[in-house]
Amino acid sequence: IIDRFMPGPITIILKKKDTIPDIVAKNYVGIRVPDNDVVRELAVVPLTSTSANISGEKSPTSVDEISEKIKKNVDLIVDTGKCKYSKPSTIIKVYEDGKVELIREGVIPFKKICKVE
């Protein structure tokens, strides 16, 4: 799944390793490698981040669409222009036994992910 869809509009939730501090995540951690050269260039080390919207709100596709509440509470916004995709990333959870669970269907259809061997 990683080889096929990353970098791209997918977030994969995996069981975290002990080397990741509990302040970052307790049991699972979401991994995302955006299909954006600027962001990947800036991310020379793993970054922790939140979404650019409050849960339940529409996902913004440009900086102009980010709510003022979010803008007032973050240290940095990297504006690389309008998002390539009009839908949010697909989120899946992969368990240690290999089972894949859909958390949110976005740009990549879950059926397409399930076909990867």
Three-state DSSP class for residue 41: helix
Distance from C-alpha of 90 to C-alpha of 93, rounded to nearest angstrom: 10
Three-state DSSP class for residue 27: coil
Q: Other C-beta atoms within 10 Å of 4: how many?
A: 13
Mean pLDDT by 10-residue block, N- to C-terminus, for the chain (117 residues)?
Answer: 94 92 89 86 74 82 91 87 89 94 96 91
Are 66 and 60 in contact by the 8 Å Cβ rule? The answer is: yes
Q: Residue 16 has what pLDDT?
A: 93
Q: Residue 64 has what pLDDT?
A: 93
The dihedrals phi and psi of 37, each to the nearest 5 degrees, come to: -60, -40
Q: Residue 90 has what pLDDT?
A: 95
